[in-house]
Amino acid sequence: MRVLVMVLLLVGSGAEAAPQFVGDVSLSVGAGRWTDSFEPHSLLSLDGGIKITPDLAVIAHGSVTSPHVYTYYEACDDPMPGEILNNYSFHWVAIEAGVGIDYAPTDAVWISPWIGMLKLAEFDAWFSQLGRSAQQAAKPVYGLTGGLDVAADDAGNRLSVVANVSYSRLGYDLSYVDLTLGLAYRFW
């Protein structure tokens, strides 16, 4: 975050014109995983920043997934053959926040690598009351968003086809992977 603030101050101090704000809002569908299988979901993503050159902007990134359902199976001390006991389900969402850059090598193609923090948040109070929790400490997350503008006007409004990929190592043998495709409104 300090690096982003320093870049914005340096860019702003040398600029004679007002800063040009850029941003995008995207809605995507795809699959995410933090256990052993991918689950379908949607992703709402919001990026905003300031252009530092005609083809490069410093951005802040944020996104949230639609709720996922996870089922937790707990073994019992003396199970009967074929018996499944203590089956608990809960809902969780993935929340990402970070900083990065938007790079537009051509007028219609753009790519945004970013780095930030991931929070997997459970929102079923009854599950926590059972003494179990899916809450995870925030972990580093790395992402890449890219797109192709399919429509644009002279004012900078654009409609894009967008792809998102993000990854976070949660610890032990768990990792979070998110893959989505969708549409974005961009202002560049």
Walk along the chain (188 residues) and give the pLDDT tens digit of each residue. Answer: 555 455 555 555 544 567 899 999 999 999 887 666 778 889 999 999 999 999 999 999 999 988 877 665 555 555 565 555 556 666 778 899 999 999 999 999 999 999 999 988 776 655 455 554 555 678 999 999 999 999 999 999 999 999 999 999 887 777 888 999 999 999 98
- Cα distance between residue 130 and residue 87, in whole Å: 12
Name the one residue in this structure whose structure tokens are 């073994």: 75
Helix (H, G, I), strand (E, B) or coil at 186: strand
31 membership: H or E segment, kind and range = strand 21-33
Q: Which domains, from first to last, does the chain contain?
A: 21-187 (2.40.160.20)
Residue 69 token pair: 């359902």
Q: What is the pTM of this model?
A: 0.76
Output b/e per residue, 39-56; b: 16+ Cβ within 10 A.
eebebebebbbbbbeeee
Distance in angstroms (rounded) separating the CA atoms of residues 97 and 145: 14
End-to-end CA distance of the chain, in Å?
23
